[in-house]
A and B are shown apart, each in its own frame.
Chain A
Amino acid sequence: MTDNKDILVEFDHFGFKYNAQQKPTLSDISLSVKRGEKVLIAGPSGCGKSTMVHCINGLIPFSYKGEMTGSLKISGKESRDLDLFTISKTVGTVLQDTDAQFVGMTVAEDIAFALENSCVIREEMKERVLRIAGTVNVQDHLHHAPGELSGGQKQRVSVAGVMVDDVEVLLFDEPLANLDPATGREAIELIDKLQEETGAAVIIVEHRLEDVLWRHVDRVVLMNEGRIISNTDADTLLCSKLLSETGIREPLYVQALKYAGVFLAPEKKPSDPALPGLDEKDKEMVRRWFENSGDDSPSGRKHPLLEVRDLCFSYEKRNRRALDGISAAIYEGSMTAIVGTNGAGKSTFSKVICGFETASSGEMIFEGIDLKSLSMKERAEHIGYVMQDPNHMISQTMIYDEVAFGLRNRGVPEDEVQSRVEDALKICGLYRMRNWPVSALSYGQKKRVTIASILVLRPKMLILDEPTAGQDYRHYTDIMEFLVKLRDQGITIVMITHDMHLMIEYADRAIVFSNGRIIADDDPARIITDAGIIKTASLRETSLYLLAKKCGINDGTAFVKRFIACEKEYRR
């Protein structure tokens, strides 16, 4: 046992029930976090992780009312005897929604926010802001507005904004949810660096295990249904079956090792992606598994549904071209991923295709029709666009009306509306809930409603912006399997995404955007193993590739393909 004063957060048989709910959200939680420790809290949606975050930072019980049982001590004091402001001096929270956390008008003001609230004088503020901005490397952006920053920069400002208070516990709520792959990795590296420099305790709440494990964590706390089901080091956890049982995705290389039949033990340190503990026998097993692979079925030449030639576009007032000579084809019945950093042009590309923006030059041919001759509304009958946040699309209260909306706007007779709406609802698995209010649905179900409301217009192609953002593995799989089903029914799917797993697992092709140009258009497995593209497009090589190299397999692309084939089989 270490010194008691080093224990910063201590749950002891703690439970919590929100006033509005009948069952407790957390029960029998016992957990302590010491100074200098790094703890990952993982678990599927609805397991109580967000409630844990609220308990640690004091929003429970000071903003959200409910019934607390047991004890929770922050720096040795019972949290219910403290107040929100005292707790926030100890615990700094970085929220998932960095736009909501960024309340200042510029970077410097936002970092200074906590100091302003503590009435620190201006000269001291300036100096502290400058120092902390240097630590998180935003010192060159002090006078920039949030709109001028990338997602990763905004997050670093958020981190600076809580660190400026010299907190002892840094609490990160889903820090990776909105970041592109390379930026996510930088975030994890930054957290690691900050902990070394400040000696603070770090608590990360995240379901993307593999990304967090890029740097060492001391312990992983696994939660399910409001309870802690495991509290151990990452190596032990990865060797158990608990992750797959709770619906948390194991790192891909661990999955591959398991498929290959490699026996994993904590001594082999499976949490380290460099896999120092893998012996020759294990490597041989991986090689054998790889060579055993069946056919690598080459997909036959397909018929292009949409062809784009030399497409250019720039937003007014900005000189740089957002799209600079884009030429590509989307094939009928394919599932294409469009990837790249924020601002690379992938969203702009889809907006131009759907007619939300007008191209300055170039051609867009959809099944022989020139898209430029069609209005936005007419194009929607060929190409449907699904926004990232379903809440931004839903304007009706009832599911049926929401799906019927686009048809009614087009003056389609009501009996045809009914048959088409019912068809769309059946495809999306919502038919039985057709007379429910939209508000009764979960996020994933709402997403389906928005997809149904687009499908009802019978487009041949769907463009989805980040179809799985912020979803845990189970919901992710649900949404993606649903899209596969649509694809099998002949609808061409285009997905704009940051998620490398999604790309290699589901897309049959990936188009990589960088600075308004297409820098690659190829098989995802090949893209993810091409160091040059990965670097330019701010992607991230997959751990599978590292594993292949480690085992002396030269054809990384084939190895990734073998894994995906195995995954697909396993899922069936």
Chain B
Amino acid sequence: MTNLFNYIERPSPIHRLTGATKLVCMLLWSFAAMVTYDTRFLALLSIAGAALFLVGNIRTKDVSFMLGFTIVFLFFNNILIYVFSPMHGTGIYGSCTYLTSWHGRYAPTVEQLFYQLNYILKYSATIPVILLFVCTTNPSEFAASLNRIGISYRISYSVSLALRYIPDVQQQYYEISKASQARGVEMSKKASLLKRLKAASNILIPLILSSMGRIETIANAMELRGFGKHKKRTWYMARKFRISDYASMAVSLLLFITALVLNHINNGRFYNPFLNH
């Protein structure tokens, strides 16, 4: 349970980067992948991201559980896009090249397939860095990193508190739900939706109300130890930036700028190979 976020302690150049650096890189990298639909660039990011896995000493089996979720999610999203908007690609690229002689609404077009390929690439470009961040960043460093990149320490600490109390809440939920089920609360698929919702409330009410009482005690404990005394605070888990930190952030920034430049060159977010036809 302590490892809900799958942090894997292993020596690697990426582990040695500070949490703040990794956070900045992850954000810049994600934004870079977010702003553009340039196929070449997204493909580059995907390959680079996969390569970083090797650098970070993270193996596929470490993340297979999370990858599984992602693939299912991606699969359904692609189907949904096709179902709802089979001509979306045609609209974007301004041409229509049917692959079959049948020309109905759901007839496959090269443009649509290309758009959906880009959509998948967008994922494969971002997911590696996010997984890498999850696997190589000690959750303890997370709050300090947020504060480092300019988020107020109060909000940063609430992030830390959330991470701290998730296992406790989870444990309590588990126990309360078992005791309620013994008293006949039915959560299984046999019950109707409305019944299941009411059943869920019967478990959640004691869980949430007893947590409310906790809030005041924790707030007291924190104030008694001087939380909120100064405008700033230091962090036990913070680390000094080194050259590799600055270098990584610079590369990420460069990627982000590249994405913006590409959007300018492409006259929009999409790289359009169909223009040459």
Main secondary structure of the interface of A (DSSP, over half): helix
- A118–B180 touching, CB < 8 Å: no
- Closest residue of chain B to A109 (Cβ to Cβ) is B236
Q: Name B135-178 residues within 8 Å CB distance of A.
A: 139-140, 160-161, 163-164, 167-168, 171-172, 175-176, 178
- B217–A162 touching, CB < 8 Å: no
Q: Is the C-beta of A355 less than 8 angstroms from some C-beta in chain B?
A: yes
Q: Which residues of B contact A108 (CB under 8 A)?
A: 236
Q: Which residues of B contact A263 (CB under 8 A)?
A: none
Binds B, one of A405-413, A515-523, A529-537: A405-413
Binds A, one of B36-44, B71-79, B218-226: B218-226
Q: Is the C-beta of B33 less than 8 angstroms from some C-beta in chain A?
A: no
Q: How far is the CA of A98 from the CA of B185 in the complex (A)?
A: 32
Q: How far is the CA of A118 from the CA of B210 in the complex (A)?
A: 31
Q: Which of A59, A112, A147 contacts B220 (CB 8 A)?
A: A59
- B234–A393 touching, CB < 8 Å: no
Q: Is the C-beta of A121 less than 8 angstroms from some C-beta in chain B?
A: yes
Q: Is the C-beta of B202 less than 8 angstroms from some C-beta in chain A?
A: yes
Binds B, one of A18-26, A29-37, A323-331, A374-382: A374-382
- A125–B234 touching, CB < 8 Å: yes
Min CB gap A349→B, angstroms: 15
- A109–B237 touching, CB < 8 Å: yes
Min CB gap B218→A, angstroms: 5
Min CB gap B203→A, angstroms: 7
- Closest residue of chain B to A456 (Cβ to Cβ) is B183
- Closest residue of chain B to A391 (Cβ to Cβ) is B210
Main secondary structure of the interface of B (DSSP, over half): helix
Q: Is the C-beta of B91 less than 8 angstroms from some C-beta in chain A?
A: no
Q: Name B196-236 residues within 8 Å CB distance of A.
A: 201-203, 205-207, 209-210, 213-214, 217-218, 220-230, 232-236
Q: Is the C-beta of A113 less than 8 angstroms from some C-beta in chain B?
A: yes
- B226–A118 touching, CB < 8 Å: yes
Q: Is the C-beta of B275 less than 8 angstroms from some C-beta in chain A?
A: no
Q: Which residues of A contact B185 (CB under 8 A)?
A: 409
- A389–B210 touching, CB < 8 Å: yes
- A376–B233 touching, CB < 8 Å: no
Min CB gap B10→A, angstroms: 15
Q: How far is the CA of A104 from the CA of B222 in the complex (A)?
A: 10
- A147–B2 touching, CB < 8 Å: yes
Q: Which residues of A contact B238 (CB under 8 A)?
A: 122
Q: Is the C-beta of A99 less than 8 angstroms from some C-beta in chain B?
A: yes
Q: How far is the CA of A105 from the CA of B168 in the complex (A)?
A: 12
Q: Is the C-beta of A394 less than 8 angstroms from some C-beta in chain B?
A: yes
- A385–B161 touching, CB < 8 Å: no
Q: Is the C-beta of B186 less than 8 angstroms from some C-beta in chain A?
A: yes
Q: Is the C-beta of A95 less than 8 angstroms from some C-beta in chain B?
A: yes
- A145–B167 touching, CB < 8 Å: yes
Given contacts A117-B230, A122-B234, A356-B178, contact A63 B161 (CB under 8 A): no
Given contacts A103-B161, A118-B229, A122-B234, contact A63 B223 (CB under 8 A): yes
Q: Which of B160, B206, B226 contacts A393 (CB 8 A)?
A: B206
Q: Is the C-beta of A101 less than 8 angstroms from some C-beta in chain B?
A: yes
- A121–B167 touching, CB < 8 Å: no
Min CB gap A172→B, angstroms: 13
Min CB gap A251→B, angstroms: 30
Given contacts A105-B163, A387-B179, contact A100 B234 (CB under 8 A): no
Q: Which of B182, B186, B225 contacts A117 (CB 8 A)?
A: B225
Q: How far is the CA of A165 from the CA of B225 in the complex (A)?
A: 9
Q: Is the C-beta of B181 less than 8 angstroms from some C-beta in chain A?
A: yes
Min CB gap B234→A, angstroms: 5
- Closest residue of chain B to A386 (Cβ to Cβ) is B179
Q: Is the C-beta of B1 less than 8 angstroms from some C-beta in chain A?
A: yes
Min CB gap B190→A, angstroms: 12
- B224–A59 touching, CB < 8 Å: yes
Min CB gap B39→A, angstroms: 41
Q: Which of A114, A355, A385, A391 contacts B209 (CB 8 A)?
A: A391
- A103–B218 touching, CB < 8 Å: yes
Q: How far is the CA of A99 from the CA of B167 in the complex (A)?
A: 12
Q: Is the C-beta of A351 less than 8 angstroms from some C-beta in chain B?
A: yes
Q: Is the C-beta of A334 less than 8 angstroms from some C-beta in chain B?
A: no
Min CB gap B28→A, angstroms: 26
Q: Is the C-beta of A340 less than 8 angstroms from some C-beta in chain B?
A: no
Given contacts A119-B230, A122-B234, A395-B202, contact A100 B221 (CB under 8 A): yes
- B236–A405 touching, CB < 8 Å: no
- B226–A354 touching, CB < 8 Å: no
Given contacts A63-B220, A105-B160, A106-B140, contact A376 B236 (CB under 8 A): no
Q: Which residues of A contact B203 (CB under 8 A)?
A: 395
- Closest residue of chain A to B218 (Cβ to Cβ) is A100
Q: Which of B184, B186, B210, B225 contacts A392 (CB 8 A)?
A: B210
- Closest residue of chain B to A145 (Cβ to Cβ) is B2
Q: Which residues of B contact A165 (CB under 8 A)?
A: 225-226
- A392–B164 touching, CB < 8 Å: no
Q: How far is the CA of A108 from the CA of B1 in the complex (A)?
A: 20
Q: Which residues of A contact B1 (CB under 8 A)?
A: 147
Q: Is the C-beta of A265 less than 8 angstroms from some C-beta in chain B?
A: no
Apart from A146-B168, A380-B183, A395-B180: 13 A-B pairs, beta carbons within 8 A? A59-B223, A63-B220, A97-B217, A102-B164, A103-B221, A109-B237, A114-B225, A116-B234, A119-B232, A121-B234, A145-B2, A146-B164, A392-B207
10 closest A-B pairs by beta carbon, nearest first, are: A409-B184, A112-B236, A117-B226, A356-B178, A406-B183, A380-B182, A100-B217, A395-B202, A114-B225, A101-B221
Q: B-side interface residues toward A, CB under 8 Å?
A: 1-2, 139-140, 160-161, 163-164, 167-168, 171-172, 175-176, 178-186, 201-203, 205-207, 209-210, 213-214, 217-218, 220-230, 232-238
Q: A-side interface residues toward B, CB under 8 Å?
A: 57-59, 63, 84-85, 88-89, 92-93, 95, 97, 99-106, 108-109, 112-122, 125-126, 129, 145-148, 161-162, 165, 351, 354-356, 376-377, 379-380, 385, 387, 389, 391-395, 405-406, 409-410, 453-454, 457
Pairs across A and B, CB under 8 Å, 10 listed: A57-B224, A88-B223, A92-B224, A103-B221, A117-B226, A117-B233, A122-B234, A122-B236, A129-B236, A392-B179
